[in-house]
Amino acid sequence: MSIRKFSTFEGVFTPSLLSILGVIMYLRLGWVVGQTGLNRALLIIFVANLITIATALSMSSVVTNIRIGTGGAYSIITKSLGIEVGGAIGLPLYLSQAISVAFYITGFTETWVSVFPGHAAVLVSVIVWLALLIISYVSARLAFRLQYIIMVIIFLSLVSIFWGVADVEAPLQFGNGLRQVSFWSTFAIFFPAVTGLLAGASMSGELKDPRSSIPKGTLAAIGVSLVIYVSLAIWLGQHVSAARLVANPSILIDLGRWKSLVVAGIMGATLSSALSMFVGAPRVLNALAGHAVVPFSGVFLRLNKKGEPTAAILMTALLALMTLLLGTLNSVAGLLTIFFLITYGMINISVFIEQSIGIISFRPSFRIPRLISFIGGAGCLAVMFLINWLFSLVAIIVIIGVYIHLLRREVKFYSPDIRSGMLSFLAEKFAWTASRLPYYPKIWKPNLILPVQDFGLLQQSLPIVRAVVFPAGRLFCFSTDIEILPKQALPWRAQESRAKDRTKQKMEMILQPLKAEDLFIETSVVESRDSETACRSVIQVATDRFFPPNTLFYMLGEDPHSDPNALPILQEGIRSGLGIVILKLYGTLKTDSGRIINLWIRRQSPNVDLSVLMSLQLMRNWESRLRIVQAVAEEAEIPAAREYLQRLKTFMRLPAEIEIHMMIGGFRSVLPRIPQADMNIFGMPRVPDLAFIQEISKTLKTTVLFLRDSEHESAAA
């Protein structure tokens, strides 16, 4: 475990400020002013700082609400949106900070070579890289102590610049710039200047009081740096020509009253920024390893005796070296901008979500208006795509891919995230909105309420239940059949509770294959001495919920007289306005796709809509053949009956391959002569006749469904 040892000034303000007052200020701010003109340069500075200020305020709000751990922004996102989201964002965050090391070293090298043109740039970069690696490997405290010296040098270099020699030949006018590069491309190159706000947050695991230090130190660093950037941009715009600003990236050295101080300031700023990232990035990798998000997590999780993540430091060094050898300063700047914007955006979004869903646990001592987090999140997303829409899209796709990968891995770490709260909030809002809209049968889908009286029967009926609700229906199973445990040394109430748990576990186990297919399934076990009353009460309550069932699905046992609750439950379903489906199994259904279904339709049947909808659902999920069967009293009625069924097929948009089979005679007389099928579907009279259903199943020797419309279904909608 790392030791908390750094104060606000040492651990947050100083590294954040020095990361902001870095290579961009010295080597690219003049170029930005020359390219865009002073007015647009100031706009770039203010837009960039608007995003970072919003992010800093959001970050300040959330860190005063949680116990932030190691990893800074990664810890914030993880504790708000979960390990999977945190990992998906934490990886680009870590990569951006590791690449930043190379970015700042490249800035140092440019300055060094401008002073010593005979030195090889690659050799200088590698030597600096090695020196920073040694310092960060030895001790983070040593790195932070060196920053005090560098801060003094930077301050003196700024004095030298503002007291320097102006280009009196052709100073830049307010709105004039060369504009050789687009506004947003210029913004992308400038934006890494303001990414230092994460330098202090990355040390969250080693701060004495991160909840206080991160808000105070970060906001103070942003405020001081904003004043310096605006002042320096105005000074350059008033005193130096656009052409000279663009042509000479090291213009500040030439303008300084004491050039050696400016050179020292550039070198010190770039080195301190690189050192801050060299120290902060491994902490993020270490935090990712702590949740097993990255490969070789066991290696990156190790700390030395001084609490330094040595393996993570070496990995960061390797990534920085690779970037040094492959990229230029401007190309790396654009890459960093996208990575940091993604991270900043997620910090703002996580705070906006917590503010919006109204959970009581979000009680930060540092409160901000919801508009700030929204502006921060929306601003990051918009600027990303304005800079480079293709790379932004690819980056988002990669993050989604990492998220899905982590989700499938089911990382076994507790994370008090708000995703379930967020989804519940959205579900409540949508349900509330939907409840205020008029119902239209077109939106009907099978949402079943299923009383379970016999678990063996539920197990046997599962293929049919699955075929009815898959892929987008819902299923609510409930039972009042509590299995009483053997007598134990427990109070009666405890025994009953244990029995309820066992009943629920048994039901969950049977339904697990359906849950594995991502079907929406709910289960409940009701404690009651009167099963009939309990069932009726459950149906009444269920039909008044935000997501009510629309169909009562009842599984009929072998002997209807052994189930006295059946008829009262069905009558309660009818009174509650539910469609009724009664299933009577016969033998074992085929498991292949060659099933045949007979759908019995009589003319002017009040149950035709639900019967057709259920038949189509079974036909689709079983890949079965559907046959419409109708019995007529005499042969002369066949043409009219067939015409009626053909019009019904057209009106209800039934597949053309569905055949029509006409039979002559009364209903009971034609039963022995009907074409063979695996299931027969019938309409049901107003009052269910359970003995009749049993008789039909035995006569046909098939599984049967008897259905009753609720008048809320429409197969023609």
Domains located in the chain, CATH noted: 8-409 (1.20.1740.10), 441-708 (3.40.50.12370)
Residue-level pLDDT at 178: 79
**pLDDT digit string (tens) for 161-202?**
888 765 555 555 566 777 888 888 888 888 878 877 766 666
Question: What does pLDDT average to over the chain?
Answer: 82
- Is the distance from CB of 306 to CB of 139 less than 8 angstroms? yes
In this predicted structure, the answer to whether residue 359 has a pLDDT above a threshold of 70 is: no
For 250, phi then psi, to 5°, come to -100, 30
Structure-model confidence comparison of residues 293 and 426, the more confident one:
293
Query: Residue 488 pLDDT > 50, yes or no?
Result: no
Helix, strand, coil % in the chain, rounded to nearest 5: 65, 10, 30
Residue range 194-237, pLDDT digits in tens: 877 766 666 666 677 777 788 888 889 899 999 999 999 988 88
pLDDT of 71 reads: 64
pLDDT category at 415 given cuts 50, 70, 90 is low
Q: Report, as an integer, the average pLDDT of 608-631.
A: 92
337 or 462: which carries more pLDDT confidence?
Answer: 462
Query: Could you read off the pLDDT of 290-300 as tens digits, one per residue?
Result: 877 788 878 88
Average pLDDT over residues 130-154: 79
Question: Which of residues 428 and 261 earns the better pLDDT score?
Answer: 261
pLDDT of residue 533: 86
Pick the closest to residue 349 from 698, 666, 62, 668 (CA basis).
62
Listed in sequence order, the residues at least 6 apart from 167 whose beta carbon sits closer than 8 Å to its beta carbon are 239, 240, 241, 244, 255
The pLDDT > 90 percentage for the chain reads 23
**Span of 54-68, 448-462, 485-499 with lowest mean pLDDT:** 485-499
Query: Model-level pTM?
Result: 0.62
Instruction: Tell me what the mean pLDDT of segment 265-289 comes to.
Output: 82
Q: Hey, what are 394's tokens?
A: 């690819």
Q: What is the per-residue pLDDT across 667-688, written as a single tens digit (0 to 9) for each? A: 888 988 888 899 999 998 888 8
Confidence check: pLDDT of 130 > 60: yes
pLDDT 10s digits, 509-542:
999 999 999 899 999 988 877 788 888 889 999 8
As a whole number of angstroms, the distance between CA 378 and CA 348 comes to 9
Q: Which residue has the tokens 């594995």?
A: 516
Do β-strands 579-584 and 596-600 pair in parallel, antiparallel, or remain unpaired? unpaired
What is the per-residue pLDDT for 146?
76
pLDDT value of position 388: 80
Q: What is the mean pLDDT of residues 390-403?
A: 81
Q: In what order do the strands lie in the sheet with 474-479?
A: 520-525, 474-479, 447-452, 551-555, 579-584, 703-708, 679-683, 596-600, 625-632, 659-664
The amino acid at residue 29 is: L
Is pLDDT of 345 > 90? no
